[in-house]
Amino acid sequence: MLSLTEEQIAFIENDIRVRGITSPDLSIDLLDHICCLIENELDEYRNFETVYQQTLLLFGEKGLKEIQEETNRLLTFKHYYFMNTTMKISGYVSSLMILIGSIFKIQHWPGANVMILVGVFFLTVLFLPILFILKFKSTDENNRSIVLSIVGFIASILVCAGILFRVLHWPGARMIIISGCSLLILGYLPIYILSIYKNTTNKMNATATIILIIAGVGLFISESGTGLSKTTSDSFWRGVTDSDDLLQYNNKAINKNFELMFKKHAADSVKLIQLKDLQVATDSMTNYISKMKIYLISVSEDITEQQAEKINIDDLRTSGGNNFLTERLLNDEYAQFTYTAKKLKSKIEAYKQTLKKCFPNVDLSNLNTEQITVYGEQVSWEVSNFEKLPISLVIYNLIRIELAIQAAETATINALQ
């Protein structure tokens, strides 16, 4: 082992500064370390320059500059490794929770919304903010890359929040998602192309990233916009919400009508009994259907019945549950449940008998529960109203049945005058 001369040590010290080491303490430590490595390898068969270049290769592709950058990062950002670990753990947890929660929601298993909520929470509150901070603190980031990180962070937060709002049926979900996707395409993508694509040596990876962003946003928008046009959809849902409003209005009008009839026939015990039987039977039917709607929304959307009671019908536009609801409502295996299509049909038939006792000639055509012809095929009442329909249309059909009950009730009251 040979010792280094003062000239060689001075050369190494100067070269360390040239290679980007600005910290005096780090420069001294590196000088001592490099000198020791060289002296261990230096002999009469190899010259100083060869051994020195081989020693520099031990510090990786970026060489001494990477050590300086890491030192600066540690000095200015003491919690880097802790936050980096937290970011990775929160990222894995959030992605797995969202994936598992989505599978649970498709299968309508309990706990789906809770898992999605927890996953999105970890993603938006931990993973994305920490990722942004780590990138922002990187010393090699230029201004354009910092802007790219900020825009990407905001767009990601908006998309995640919009999806969460959509899953939980909170208002404003569509606008938040559109804002996030627009920012991603119109803000993030152009900056990415300017700052990354032009400067990167791996054009394939950059191109793949651009394609995936555009395709992902396109698929997301197409999935959200499948089916009827917005104009047609809005018109249909206006009819649904108007029907629900009409239902509430009719209930108030019928209750007032009953009050007038009870006063009018106060001395007629027979008609009073008929009116009372009619009112009790109608209240029983409407209460059953109202609870049935709440129950179906609750099990379909994986929320409590208290939450289902307060949900806006218009927020069910994109809800599914087709096969799940078909099984619950039509499958004989679920006969033990309180709310099934057969039990509803049985209650309607019993209600019709009560109306006929009050007035035998009452028109009950709107409450027909017999088979109907659909495209030349005989279909049962249960299938025509509930088979393979999303929760939104199931609720709409139940509203139509309630309106038919109100019409039959009003016709019976008028016949008893």
Count of residues in the chain: 417
Q: DSSP string of 45-108?
A: TB-HHHHHHHHHHTT-SSTHHHHHHHHHHHHH-TTHHHHHHHHHHHHHHHHHHHHHHHHHHHHT
pLDDT, tens digit (0-9, with 9 covering 90-100), for 105-135:
777 677 777 888 888 888 888 888 887 777 7
Nearest to 393 by CA among 279, 228, 249: 228
Q: What is the mean pLDDT of residues 21-26?
A: 71
Percent of the chain residues topping a pLDDT of 70 = 77
Residue 228 one-letter amino acid: L
pLDDT of 197 reads 57
User: What are the structure tokens assigned to 225, written together?
Assistant: 């916009």
Q: What is the pTM of this model?
A: 0.57
CA separation (Å) from 151 to 155, 179, 219, 331, 414? 6, 12, 21, 50, 66
Confidence band, pLDDT 50/70/90 cuts, at residue 356:
confident
Confidence band, pLDDT 50/70/90 cuts, at residue 215:
low
Provide the Cα torsion 338, 343, 348, 349; round to 10°: -140
pLDDT, tens digit (0-9, with 9 covering 90-100), for 378-396:
888 888 888 888 888 888 8
Residues 307 and 148: their CA atoms lie apart, in Å, by 40
Domain spans, the chain: 6-73, 78-224, 230-415
From 9-23, 191-205, 268-282, 400-414, the region with the lowest mean pLDDT? 191-205
Q: DSSP string of 370-411?
A: S-EEETTEEE-HHHHHHTT--HHHHHHHHHHHHHHHHHHHHH
CA separation (Å) from 362 to 347, 369, 407? 18, 16, 11
Residue scoring higher pLDDT (45 or 403): 403
Count other Cβ atoms within 10 Å, centred on residue 411.
16
pLDDT, tens digit (0-9, with 9 covering 90-100), for 231-247:
666 777 787 788 888 88
Work out the angle between the directed axes of helices 269-301 and 341-358 (0-180°, nearest 10): 170
User: What are the structure tokens assigned to 33, written together?
Assistant: 């370390």
Residues 400 and 358: their CA atoms lie apart, in Å, by 23
Confidence band, pLDDT 50/70/90 cuts, at residue 226:
very low
Mean pLDDT is highest, among 33-37, 49-53, 146-150, 257-261, for 257-261
Asked if residue 8 has pLDDT above 60, the reply is: yes
pLDDT of 349 reads 92
Q: What is the mean pLDDT of residues 248-273?
A: 84
Count other Cβ atoms within 10 Å, centred on residue 103.
12
Residue scoring higher pLDDT (22 or 272): 272
Count Cα neighbours of 217 within 13 Å in the Cβ-side half-sphere. Answer: 20
Residue 344 one-letter amino acid: L
CA separation (Å) from 367 to 233, 352, 404? 27, 8, 6
Residues 342 and 335: their CA atoms lie apart, in Å, by 8
Asked if residue 324 has pLDDT above 50, the reply is: yes
Residues 142 and 149: their CA atoms lie apart, in Å, by 11
- 80 contacts: CB under 8 Å, gap ≥ 6: 73, 74, 134, 137
Count Cα neighbours of 166 within 13 Å in the Cβ-side half-sphere. Answer: 18
Asked if residue 408 has pLDDT above 60, the reply is: yes
Q: What is the mean pLDDT of residues 152-176?
A: 78
- 299 contacts: CB under 8 Å, gap ≥ 6: 108, 324, 328
Report residue 251 CA to chain centroid gap: 36
pLDDT of 139 reads 46
How do strand 377-379 and strand 372-374 relate by DSSP bridges?
antiparallel
From 63-77, 180-194, 296-310, 386-400, the region with the lowest mean pLDDT? 63-77
Nearest to 175 by CA among 186, 192, 161, 190: 161
Residues 293 and 298: their CA atoms lie apart, in Å, by 8
CA separation (Å) from 193 to 183, 203, 208? 14, 11, 12
Whether 317 contacts 233, CB under 8 Å: yes
Nearest to 2 by CA among 40, 34, 30: 40
Confidence band, pLDDT 50/70/90 cuts, at residue 221:
low
Whether 165 contacts 176, CB under 8 Å: yes
pLDDT, tens digit (0-9, with 9 covering 90-100), for 64-97:
666 666 666 665 555 667 778 888 888 888 888 8
Count Cα neighbours of 125 within 13 Å in the Cβ-side half-sphere. Answer: 8
Residue scoring higher pLDDT (98 or 346): 346
